[in-house]
Amino acid sequence: MPNETQANSVSKVAVVTGGSRGLGRNTAINLARRGVNVIFTYRANRAVAEAAVLEIKALGTEVIALQLDTGRVSDFEAFVGKAKDALQSLGRSQFDYLVNNAGNSYHAAIAETTEEAFDELVNVHLKGVYFLTQKLLPLMADGGRIINVSSGLARFAVPGISAYASMKGAVEVFTRYLAKELGPRGITANTVAPGAIATDFSGGMVRDIPTYNKMVADATALGRAGVPDDVGPMIASLLSDDNRWVNGQRIEVSGGTYL
């Protein structure tokens, strides 16, 4: 039997980009634990996506994985068609929650950052978030919720990550505009900014390199680097009706990094 939270949200549907790994996967799992059906995207690794599908289905909700490179805006129109079909299979014509999570990293000093790498970051983290949201808005139910995943690096500066951090700063501005323009539809938009998390992001630096992990821990008030389960439950909670009056905000989930 579903618990009360699940019973109240069993018909809800979330779209999570980059949901096959890391924070996206953890978010999808925690949404499923609340009875939310999930459509998630993955970029290329079908086997990892299928494993995520099995893990989420085991929680008793419906889940559909769709391939999408969020850096290719030209693919978005076709993706919307796939999303419509996925929603129909779930008995819905609209979805309720959008989590723009998919992303890649880039480490280089300003003097060494290439235009090619910069443009790739723009495509994934800014154009991708902006135009995928634009394309999906007609499929979003009034009263829905949008969360754009940013980074603590948009607040504090760590040398060598300026291009990536700049994209996240732009996304935070975009989020406030979403909140303002979508207010008449009752749709909220917020930014969640994780600190350094031990996943395979950036080649697993925080997870796999002890000296880097210790550097993060030493800079964090709670004395350790984050793990996916520090962030996914928070995003799932923010999407719930308990947080319906939170709008246009940047919420950092970093354990108190560089306070």
**pLDDT value at residue 62:** 97
> Is-catalytic flag, 168?
yes
Which band of pLDDT confidence, cut at 50, 70 and 90, is reported for residue 5?
Answer: very low
> Is-catalytic flag, 127?
no
Which band of pLDDT confidence, cut at 50, 70 and 90, is reported for residue 3?
Answer: very low
Question: Residue 240's Cα: distance from chain center in Å?
Answer: 15
Angle between helices 22-33 and 232-239 (to 10 degrees): 50
> Is-catalytic flag, 74?
no
Q: Output the CA–CA distances (angstroms, integers) from residue 131 to 72, 125, 191, 194, 219, in the order listed.
A: 10, 11, 17, 23, 35
Active-site annotation holder among 151, 166, 202, 254: 151
- The alpha-carbon radius of gyration of the chain (Å, integer) is 18
Instruction: For residues 26-33, give the mean pLDDT.
Output: 98
- Give residues with Cβ within 8 angstroms of 193, minimum separation 6: 149, 150, 151, 152, 154, 155, 168, 172, 250, 251, 252, 253, 254
Instruction: Say what the pTM is.
Output: 0.92
DSSP 125: I
Active-site annotation holder among 42, 106, 164, 254: 164
Q: CA-CA distance, 99 to 29, in Å (whole number)?
A: 13
Polymer length in residues for the chain: 259
pLDDT at 9 over 60: no
Question: Residue 76's Cα: distance from chain center in Å?
Answer: 17
The mean pLDDT of the chain is 93
Active-site annotation holder among 9, 12, 97, 150: 150
Identify the CATH homologous superfamily for domain 4-194+231-253.
NAD(P)-binding Rossmann-like Domain (3.40.50.720)
pLDDT at 212 over 60: yes
> Is-catalytic flag, 42?
no
Say if residues 40 and 100 touch (Cβ distance below 8 Å).
Answer: no
Say if residues 103 and 149 touch (Cβ distance below 8 Å).
Answer: yes
Give the closest residue to 129 by CA, choosing from 109, 151, 153.
151
What share of the chain has pLDDT > 90, as a percent?
A: 86
pLDDT at 232 over 60: yes
- The model's pLDDT over 130-140, given as tens digits with 9 standing for 90+, comes to 999 999 999 99
- Give residues with Cβ within 8 angstroms of 58, minimum separation 6: none
Active-site annotation holder among 9, 106, 168, 254: 168
Element (H, E) at 114: none
- The model's pLDDT over 76-88, given as tens digits with 9 standing for 90+, comes to 999 999 999 999 9
Q: CA-CA distance, 130 to 158, in Å (whole number)?
A: 25
**pLDDT value at residue 202:** 66
Domain boundaries, the chain: 4-194+231-253
